[in-house]
Chains A and B, each alone.
Chain A
Amino acid sequence: MNLETIKSEIEANVPGCRLEIVPNNSPSGQHSLLIDHEHALFVASFLRDAAHLRFDYCSNVTGIDWPGKEITEKVKIKKILDGVEQEVEEIQKTQSAGHLEAVYHLYSMEKKHGPVILRMRTEDRAVRIHLPSLTPIWRSAEFQEREIFDLYGIVFDGHPDLRRILMWDGFEDHPMRRDYVEPDDYEYEPTPHDAVLQKAKQHLNETGGR
């Protein structure tokens, strides 16, 4: 099934939705469809209910963290040097906000085809971390969205029961984020090697052996 045709069908049936195909350069060729927040539920229910598509089975739901990158740009700025206005090149570093992403893999049990991959992105990683929950459309998303909330901190609006699922309730971090700092309890290791050796050494340096 061609993603281009699915995209144009959705656009014809869900007026106003903004879709974008995210290309995938690996040999798997599984391209995905980036959908906007406002129309996500409409797009999802169209995919589920359209008679020739019938994506009734949402297999895999997962989160991804894309932290902000440092962007280095050369900018030309007009400055007054020695009383003369000159154009100077300066290197500017900006920090992009980054985003969190939720990915849905859809298959059809009725038509036995798939996958169609949907993506949604939050605007940043700190505050605007809300996404619409697709649990009303596919119940299989319920626990997986809870897991994303727990490990990545995406808040799914409209989710029936958004609580932590894997970590305990009083836990404050989102451990699958790439900037998560784990608690340091590497004081002892009989045969350390690789990463554990590095961590144990670091612990030794910081605490002086305790």
Chain B
Amino acid sequence: MDEKLKVELGKQGIFTTTLQELYNWGRKNSLWPLNFGLACCAIEMIATTMARYDLARFGAEVFRPSPRQADLMIVAGTITKKMAPQVVRLYNQMAEPKYVISMGACAISGGPFKQGYNVLKGIDRYIPVDVHIPGCPPRPEALIDAFITLQKQIDEQQLTGIGRPRHLDPDAPSEFIVPQFGAHDLEPPQNPDVWHPPLVNISLAGKNESGND
């Protein structure tokens, strides 16, 4: 339907919508996050749900302790190699449609602890991430911003066609490899179906120029 006509009708008190809009509207306003904190960032996540920042305004205050009841995983904190299999398993146990917010420097890349032998250098090595928020820890406002970003993403999803979301595409996977503990490292160290190392021109990076080529 023509956007203008729709707005015009709305002014007259006639509400028109499409199934897609209704469906996306419902999904985006009732994101139930998994009650799952890993490290320091989790405290900011809790602060976001508390009195001052009040995440409930965005329909996302119902933190569920069970992955079966959650739509959204907020990876809040450092993922160690010992923990990574559990994180992936939790993700696999969530029902589609499911989303991931990677909160904080650690969840994105290992952050300040990147050089640790037991630290996974970013959760996107094993599972797909929808929104990244930088910060160490990100402020509650940043987490709220991530929510709004995710809601926008959901709102724009086409339900049919090539760009349709994973849960409507029978060929797309909804479970991912759970890494195993090896003698020296996790096996595999990353999931090649999910993650490729971006082409970065490292020789430039030290000179404070953009490293992308």
Residues of A within 8 A of B (CB): 166-173, 175, 180, 182-183, 185-193, 195-197, 199-201, 204, 209-210
CA distance A193 to B82 in the complex (A): 26
CA distance A192 to B203 in the complex (A): 10
Given A175-B118, A183-B117, A185-B189, check contact A200 B202 (CB 8 Å).
yes
B115–A195 touching, CB < 8 Å:
yes
A197–B198 touching, CB < 8 Å:
no
Q: How many residues of B contact A (CB 8 A)?
A: 24
CA distance A129 to B141 in the complex (A): 52
B200–A168 touching, CB < 8 Å:
no
Partner of A201, one of B109, B189, B202: B202
Given A190-B200, A197-B205, A197-B206, check contact A171 B183 (CB 8 Å).
yes
- Write out the residue numbers on chain B whose beta carbons fall within 8 Å of the beta carbon of A189: 109, 114, 200, 202, 205
B114–A188 touching, CB < 8 Å:
no
B184–A171 touching, CB < 8 Å:
yes
A192–B206 touching, CB < 8 Å:
yes
B206–A172 touching, CB < 8 Å:
no
Given A189-B109, A190-B109, A190-B211, check contact A201 B185 (CB 8 Å).
no
A192–B183 touching, CB < 8 Å:
no
Q: Does B162 contact A (CB under 8 A)?
A: no
Task: Give the residue among A180, A187, A201, A210 with the most B Cβ atoms within 10 A.
Answer: A187
B115–A196 touching, CB < 8 Å:
yes
Partner of B205, one of A166, A180, A192, A210: A192
Given A170-B181, A183-B184, A185-B121, check contact A197 B202 (CB 8 Å).
yes
Partner of A172, one of B115, B184, B197, B203: B184
A210–B197 touching, CB < 8 Å:
yes
CA distance A80 to B188 in the complex (A): 61
Interface string of B82-123 (1 = CB under 8 A from A): 100000000000000000000000000100001101100110
Residues of B within 8 A of A (CB): 82, 109, 114-115, 117-118, 121-122, 181-185, 189-190, 197-200, 202-203, 205-206, 211
Q: How far is the CB of A155 from chain B (nearest CB, A)?
A: 19
Partner of B203, one of A167, A190, A193, A201: A201
Q: How far is the CB of A134 from chain B (nearest CB, A)?
A: 27
Given A170-B182, A171-B183, A197-B206, check contact A188 B82 (CB 8 Å).
no
By beta carbon, the residue of chain B nearest A192 is B205
Q: How far is the CB of A200 from chain B (nearest CB, A)?
A: 5
B184–A188 touching, CB < 8 Å:
no
CA distance A58 to B199 in the complex (A): 52
A183–B189 touching, CB < 8 Å:
yes
By beta carbon, the residue of chain A nearest B184 is A183
- Write out the residue numbers on chain B whose beta carbons fall within 8 Å of the beta carbon of A195: 115
By beta carbon, the residue of chain B nearest A197 is B206
B181–A171 touching, CB < 8 Å:
yes
Partner of A191, one of B82, B199, B205: B205
